[in-house]
Amino acid sequence: MSAVHLIHDGATAHIVLDNPAKLNAFTPDMLSQLEAHCATLERSPEVLCVILRSEGDRAFCAGADITAWAGLSPFDFARHWVREGHRIFDRLARLSKPTIAVIHAPAFGGGLELAAACDIRVMASTATLALPEAQVGIVPGWSGTQRLARLIPEAVLKEMTLFGRRLDAARAQGLGFVAEVADDPLAMAQTIAAVVAKASPRAVEVAKYQIHAATGEDRAAMIEALGGGMIAASADKAEGVSAFAAKRKPEFPGS
């Protein structure tokens, strides 16, 4: 049974973690479901914004289900659990649609890394953020020491990873990691999504590519996507394709 749902609501799609009995901690199946939903969203032009949220009152996401990885060999842990999770979270981060994480309750470990993979975050005033991996003898593995290092100051990230300090909503917003703190973070996210839906979809997509190219989020692919989109609209491209089909030498107009 699916524990990660994809729900369409007009121009907004919701990715919903639904494993509250385990604090929405990720299992291998949940990772696969998240990846499948990301692929679906890329092929859904009617979706203009994505909200990532979860069920249950106790946690947004507690990270990775320890029972899913505790018995893995070092090789399987590194190659399959860490690399697969990292790749799938990257897939979410690189969606062409803008994404909003709704942190209504604590986001720990992989849960914080999941929220960091979204474009912006909306947080309840009572929620907290933490990277407690060292307390169970491991280290962040789904971009906690990489993507988060681009989003929050190094000293704060070290407080969290080395000393186990939790980050509350007010401080997270002050650092710029959280866009809004609200009593009803889902309602706030829906308000933001409604604003996004009124903007130019292509302009929003290209702006996201430009920012990612600047910050290093899949920079090579973003630069080539921008260049490819520009040349695909040119008369030169149309002439090249036409000449190839007609088996003649192209005469490029330079426009």
Catalytic residues: 113, 133
Q: How far apart are CA 65 and CA 24, in angstroms?
A: 8
Tell me the H-state helices in the chain: 28-42, 66-69, 74-76, 83-93, 110-116, 147-151, 154-163, 169-174, 185-197, 201-215, 219-232, 235-246
Find out whether 204 and 158 touch, Cβ atoms under 8 Å.
no
Q: Of 122, 141, 123, nearest to 131 (Cα)?
A: 141
- The DSSP bridge partners found for residue 123 are 103, 181
C-alpha to C-alpha distance for 110 and 30, rounded to whole angstroms: 13
- CA gap 121, 125 in Å, rounded: 13
3-state secondary structure 200-231: CHHHHHHHHHHHHHHHCCCHHHHHHHHHHHHH
Of 195, 232, 229, the closest CA to residue 210 belongs to 229
Stretch (H or E) spanning 101: strand 99-103
